[in-house]
């Protein structure tokens, strides 16, 4: 019963957060002195054309009214314009992008597999290398291993992804010519090509992210190894592998899981820079396009979706705590 209540409260909280994100996106967009209809006005832009464009796209109403229309569309769908050129967006309608002539949900659906491929692959890579390097660095504290791990993590934290991406392309793509420099092939078309084309983006993203995990794991591991229960475990005669793998690592992973959940959630919402550098048609590109074209429905869709992922990641992390740490379990 306790667990159910816990999950219920968390889910209700998540829905409330999403509602507030949507509301504030609308409000912010309308506080900024910019007219979203200007892109559809054409050139020369006359007052009359501007008014027509505004009316067609539903930007003529006050922002709170537009927000209510948006919220209503989730349940009842929406229709823009009238007659043979009317645009229908079936429920649940997350908005319609006039710039891209498509429902926002469909656009996100098209792009999600690309971003998910990029994010999940990179996450596996950085989790394994980052945590691995952190453990090794902690166990071999003060040795060359430790110094190499720390030095590369400083490089990873400080180098911007854009730079690392370009250098990666220059070195591995052009100079050594061992990997393709961009583009995306769906997993369903060819799993080998899919992985081959994503190899460099994965490595670049992982390089930047792993750094944090290395430092976190190392510090946490050093702390943990000094704890009484580790001494007890060693005193019981357990092998070093058992002590580290079973007893210490489990404790170390608690903060790692917290950071990882949020990182992955954020990344799934769009790895803007990495996608751009490698020409990957993911959610990040969609977001850039939405901002550039003042495409409010798409911007709102991308923002909400990103918020949804972060919120979900947090809920999942909370639930994982229980699995990892018996102290966090509900009675």
- Binding site residues, another protein, CB under 8 A: 32-35, 38-50, 52-53, 55-56, 81, 83-87, 99-102, 107, 110-111, 166, 169-170, 174, 177, 181-182, 184, 276-279, 281, 285-286, 288-289, 294
Closest separation in Å from C-beta 171 to another protein: 11
CB of 278 to another protein, least distance (A): 8
Residue 174 C-beta: closest distance to another protein, Å: 5
107 phi, psi to nearest 5 deg:
-65, -45
CB nearer to another protein: give 100 or 152: 100
For residue 183, is it left (φ>0), alpha (ψ between -120 and 50) or beta?
Answer: left
Q: Considering the complex, state which of residue 50 and residue 316 has its C-beta at the smaller distance from another protein.
A: 50
276, with CB counted inside 10 A (0-12, 13-18, 19+), is middle
d(CA 40, CA 46): 11
Min dist. Cβ of residue 113 to another protein (A): 12
- What is the secondary structure of 242-303 as a DSSP string? HIIIIIIHHHHHHHHHHHHHHHHHHHHT--HHHHHHTT--SHHHHHHHHHHTT-HHHHHHHH
260 vs 278, beta carbon nearer another protein: 278
SS3 208: helix
Q: Name the minimum Å distance from CB 175 to another protein.
A: 9
Per the document, the length of the chain is 331
CB closer to another protein out of 286 and 317? 286
d(CA 74, CA 91): 6
* Minimum distance, C-beta of residue 42 to another protein, in the bound complex (Å): 4
Separation between Cα atoms, residue 31 and residue 26, nearest integer Å: 9
Choice between 49 and 266, CB closer to another protein: 49
Q: What is the Cα–Cα distance from 99 to 167, expressed in whole angstroms?
A: 34
Q: Which is nearer to another protein, 128 or 291 (CB)?
A: 291
> Based on CB atoms, which residue is closest to another protein, 173 or 322?
173
Count of alpha carbons within 13 angstroms of residue 291, beta-carbon side: 9
Find the shortest distance in angstroms from Cβ 64 to another protein.
Answer: 21
Q: How many CB atoms within 10 Å of residue 73?
A: 20
In contact, 96 and 173? CB cutoff 8 Å: no
CB of 210 closer than 8 Å to CB of 218 = no
Nearer to another protein, 40 or 267 (CB): 40
Q: What's the closest the beta carbon of residue 252 comes to another protein, in angstroms?
A: 38
* Rounded Cα distance, 77 and 96, in Å: 10
């Amino acid at each position: 019963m306790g667990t159910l209540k816990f999950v219920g409260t968390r889910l209700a909280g998540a829905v409330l957060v999403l509602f507030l994100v949507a509301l504030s996106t609308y409000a912010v967009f309308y506080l900024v002195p910019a007219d979203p209809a200007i892109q559809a006005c054409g050139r020369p832009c006359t007052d009359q054309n501007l008014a027509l464009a505004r009316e067609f796209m539903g930007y003529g109403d006050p922002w709170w009214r537009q927000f209510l229309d948006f919220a209503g569309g989730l349940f009842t769908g929406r229709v823009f314009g009238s007659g043979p050129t009317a645009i229908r967006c079936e429920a649940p309608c997350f908005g319609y992008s006039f710039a891209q002539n498509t429902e926002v949900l469909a656009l996100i659906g098209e792009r999600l597999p690309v971003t998910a491929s990029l994010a999940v692959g990179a996450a596996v890579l950085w989790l394994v290398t980052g945590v691995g390097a952190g453990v090794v660095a902690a166990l071999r504290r003060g040795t060359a291993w430790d110094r190499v791990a720390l030095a590369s993590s400083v490089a990873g934290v400080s180098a911007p992804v854009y730079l690392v991406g370009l250098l990666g392309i220059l070195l591995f793509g052009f100079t050594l010519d061992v990997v393709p420099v961009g583009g995306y092939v769906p997993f369903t078309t060819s799993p080998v090509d899919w992985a081959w084309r994503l190899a460099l983006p994965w490595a670049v993203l992982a390089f930047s992210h792993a750094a944090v995990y290395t430092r976190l794991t190392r510090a946490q591991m050093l702390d943990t190894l000094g704890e009484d229960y580790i001494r007890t475990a060693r005193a019981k005669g357990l092998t070093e592998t058992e002590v580290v793998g079973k007893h210490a690592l489990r404790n170390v992973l608690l903060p790692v899981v917290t950071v990882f959940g949020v990182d992955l959630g954020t990344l799934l919402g769009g790895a803007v820079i990495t996608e751009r550098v490698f020409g990957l048609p993911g959610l990040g590109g969609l977001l850039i396009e939405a901002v550039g074209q003042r495409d409010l429905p798409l911007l709102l869709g991308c923002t909400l979706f990103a918020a949804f992922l972060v919120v979900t990641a947090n809920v999942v992390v909370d639930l994982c705590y229980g699995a990892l740490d018996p102290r966090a379990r509900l009675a």
